[in-house]
Amino acid sequence: MTPAPQHADRTEKREAILEAALELFSERGFHGTSMPELAERAGVGAGTIYRYFDGKEALVNVLYQENKREFVRSTVDDFPFAAPAREQFHALWTRLFKFAVERPKALKFLELHHHAEYLDEESHKLETRSLDLGIGFLELTRRAQVTKDVPSAILISIVWGAFVRLVRASWECQLELTPAVIAQAEACCWEAIRR
């Protein structure tokens, strides 16, 4: 009967390491975070981290993949794919901001690290797949003559760029992401991309 508490302890330590890494990598970046700082923040010995992860690069990739999968899940689970394009855009926009408000450290971490040289092939594939979801939506709406007849890469840049800048403005206390602000920004973005 003792293996269960040991397993629970291992899981708790792993989660403590991941939570500490999320905080530190979000605050200081990958290169600005040392393993001893990580261990201290997680409340574990420095050597303990290596029982769970092969090193800092392995740790950042596990963290990236877990948070990117959660981001994608929160965006597409039960998505109204059969709804009109404008309703789909509304669902996408509100889900992006819901994630930003509920998981600010995760979003900050993902934004800070998504083009980093230390991300492995699986992390890059996840990034590409998550972007492909938005591009796919914009391709379909462009072909249906709902959105502007310009490359989807331009449209996704307009939408994603607006989203990220609004979130950053809230992080920098320049504005509060109230429902009214999110709705106004959504209307502006839709006007920018619709035909």
C-alpha span between 193 and 140 (Å, rounded): 13
User: Is the pLDDT reported for residue 59 higher than 80?
Assistant: yes
Please check whether residues 175 and 105 belong to one and the same domain.
Answer: yes
Confidence of residue 29 (pLDDT cuts 50, 70, 90): very high
Q: What is the CA radius of gyration of the chain?
A: 19
Please check whether residues 75 and 164 belong to one and the same domain.
Answer: yes
Per-residue model confidence (pLDDT) at position 4: 45
C-alpha span between 159 and 67 (Å, rounded): 21
User: Is the pLDDT reported for residue 106 higher than 60?
Assistant: yes
User: Is the pLDDT reported for residue 3 higher than 90?
Assistant: no
Query: pLDDT tens for residues 113-154?
Result: 988 899 999 999 999 988 888 899 999 999 999 999 999 999
Per-residue model confidence (pLDDT) at position 8: 56
Angle of CA points 152, 155, 160, to nearest 5°: 120
User: Is the pLDDT reported for residue 166 higher than 90?
Assistant: yes
DSSP β-bridge partners for residue 147: 194
Please check whether residues 93 and 132 belong to one and the same domain.
Answer: yes
Asked if 112 contacts 28 with a C-beta cutoff of 8 angstroms, the reply is: no
Please check whether residues 85 and 153 belong to one and the same domain.
Answer: yes
Please check whether residues 91 and 63 belong to one and the same domain.
Answer: yes
Please check whether residues 39 and 67 belong to one and the same domain.
Answer: no
φ, ψ of residue 142 to 5 degrees: the values are -70, -45
End-to-end CA distance of the chain: 64
Per-residue model confidence (pLDDT) at position 2: 39
Domain enclosing residue 29, as ranges: 1-53
Please check whether residues 14 and 101 belong to one and the same domain.
Answer: no
Mean pLDDT of the chain: 93
Please check whether residues 161 and 69 belong to one and the same domain.
Answer: yes
Rounded mean pLDDT of 59-64? 97
DSSP per-residue codes, 15-84: HHHHHHHHHHHHHH-STT--HHHHHHHHTS-HHHHHHH-SSHHHHHHHHHHHHHHHHHHHHHTT--TTS-
Please check whether residues 84 and 180 belong to one and the same domain.
Answer: yes
Category of 41 on φ-ψ map: left (φ > 0), alpha (ψ -120 to 50) or beta:
alpha
Rounded mean pLDDT of 178-187? 97
Asked if 126 contacts 75 with a C-beta cutoff of 8 angstroms, the reply is: no
- State the angle between helix axes of 85-102 and 179-193 in degrees (0 to 180), rounded to the nearest 10: 140
User: Is the pLDDT reported for residue 46 higher than 60?
Assistant: yes
The residue from 37, 53, 69 where one domain ends is 53
Rounded mean pLDDT of 69-88? 95
C-alpha span between 113 and 57 (Å, rounded): 12
Q: How many structural domains is the chain composed of?
A: 2
- The pTM score is 0.88
Of all residues in the chain, the percent with pLDDT exceeding 90 is 88
Please check whether residues 70 and 166 belong to one and the same domain.
Answer: yes
Rounded mean pLDDT of 162-190? 97
Task: List the CATH number of the domain containing 129.
Answer: 1.10.357.10
The two structure tokens encoding residue 13: 């330590």
Please check whether residues 162 and 186 belong to one and the same domain.
Answer: yes
Q: Which of 5, 52, 58, 4 minimizes the C-alpha distance to 30? A: 58
Please check whether residues 60 and 38 belong to one and the same domain.
Answer: no
Per-residue model confidence (pLDDT) at position 6: 53
Per-residue model confidence (pLDDT) at position 36: 95
Confidence of residue 10 (pLDDT cuts 50, 70, 90): confident
